[in-house]
Amino acid sequence: MRLSLAAIVVDDYDTAIDFFVRALGFELVEDSPAVTHDGRPKRWVVVRPPGAETGLLLARADGERQRAVIGEQVAGRVGFFLETGDFDAAYERMRTAGVTFLSEPRTEPYGRVAVFLDVAGNRWDLLGPA
């Protein structure tokens, strides 16, 4: 078995694609038309970091309940972890692309880390070697 996808609830497909592809450097793996269980149109949108096996399904919020969790999928804590071999280069590229960082880079026993927000407001750790 393997984990192939994790979903992130977003407000808009195209805004989310732009953020993950342009600002984070992910690949757009798929963007296909689909329908909900009751026949309404939606899209199947998958992005992933280059070389990664696990991707993110960008799921546009459908209804008030789903809109309420945009940016709060893990109740305000860091819930996603993006690992890089060159922390400083990734940090600078992301800052230049307009990514919002909530902390300055710091060194922890497990490596270099800085907390940032994705397009939906979810908290991520950018992680690199110590």
In degrees, rounded to 5, the angle at the alpha carbon of residue 28 between the alpha carbons of residues 25 and 33 is: 155
How high is the pLDDT of residue 57? Answer: 98
How high is the pLDDT of residue 98? Answer: 97
- pLDDT per residue over 47-93, tens digit each? 999 999 999 999 999 999 999 999 999 999 999 999 999 999 999 99
**Terminal CA-CA length for the chain:** 31
Is pLDDT at 37 greater than 90 in this prediction? Answer: no
- What does the domain layout of the chain look like in residue ranges? 5-128
Q: For residue 101, give the DSSP letter.
A: B
The Cα-based distances of 75 to 4, 10, 68, 117, 126 in angstroms read: 23, 15, 11, 13, 19
Domain 5-128, what fold?
2,3-Dihydroxybiphenyl 1,2-Dioxygenase; domain 1 (3.10.180)
Q: Output the pTM of the full model.
A: 0.93
Confidence of residue 31 (pLDDT cuts 50, 70, 90): very high
How high is the pLDDT of residue 79? Answer: 96
